Amino acid sequence: MRPIENVHSKKAPHWVGDGFYVKTFINHLEENPDFNYEHTDPFLLFDYGEPTTFEPNPNYQTEPHGIGKHPHKGFETVTIAYSGEISHADSTGGCGDILEGDVQWMTAGRGIMHEEFHSAAFGQRGGVFSMVQMWVNLPSADKLTHPKYQSIKRAEIPLVDLIDNSDDSDGSNQATIGKAAIIAGEWQGVTGSASTFTPINVWNIELYASGSTTLQIPNTHNTLLLVQEGELLVNDTPVSAGNLIQFEAPTQHRADIQDEHAPDTDIIELHCSITTTEEPTLNPIKLLLFSGEPIGEPVAGYGPFVMNTQEELRQTFRDYQTGNFIK
């Protein structure tokens, strides 16, 4: 079983532009000796936008809520919409709306300019808005890859049943208590929709019945779990909504794996008790698991640029200031 290292909760929310009210749980620029990029590699940044209600925007066509054109270089941004809708446009000509349950996986690579706003439809009607965005580092060999854009619709994301294994000594209990949507990575022979440069798992998880289940994570991965809604036991530790679980460091590194018969996964146990109203309506527990094999390379970052050396970073700023950034 992969033990829990820490549960992170004390993060004050802040605005990104005027459309995204987020808690930044991971920031590779923070100098926290107990929780820094060494513990989250390859994840550079993780913003969680808890459910926030927006009133209808009377100026949704001319002044949409969000953030205007800004640059990125050297990594990927992954945006998942849970409630509300996001419109995206970038310097490669990529554009579109990220609807509820959809994922945008944008590779900035050698450089991209993009903008993100509430969609016109959401701006007009208002409502509850919730999303996450993570920054995934690129290895040095791929830092200058051509930008690309993966638009992943909710219906395209494969699902894996989560089986209740509580009180199942004879293996006869096969009740399904939830599902995992495999955005990226692989589990139980199911491969996620997103293509990645390094081994990464990104799974949306819903538990809608009481019971216990287990997740199997490569023991070479840094692993984190966001609790979005509900309360449950994770490895016998009670965790409630709005908390990010940091598991202990990988138990193995790929270069050290020699015994082909040694187990290559760690176990995370989830135990939940789902309550119901008087009507047969369930209140599911919602989680986001993300794990990745550490890249293990030096990082030089400032703002929206993440390179490997300070000289590469200075050159990036020179290119941006002289108009050569995306040429």
Cis check: omega of the bond before 42, within 30 degrees of 0: yes
Is 114 annotated for ligand binding? Answer: yes
How far is residue 117's CA from residue 264's CA, in Å, rounded to a whole number?
41
DSSP-assigned letter for residue 132 = E
Is 5 annotated for ligand binding? Answer: no
How far is residue 90's CA from residue 221's CA, in Å, rounded to a whole number?
31
Is 88 annotated for ligand binding? Answer: no
Give the pair of three-digit tokens for residue 1: 């079983």
Give the pair of three-digit tokens for residue 32: 């926290």
How far is residue 129's CA from residue 295's CA, in Å, rounded to a whole number?
33
What radius of gyration do the chain's Cα atoms show? 20
Give CA 171 to chain center in angstroms.
33
Is 65 annotated for ligand binding? Answer: no
Give the pair of three-digit tokens for residue 148: 């690309």
Residue stretches of the annotated binding site: 70, 72, 114, 116
Residue stretches of the annotated binding site for Fe cation: 70, 72, 114, 116
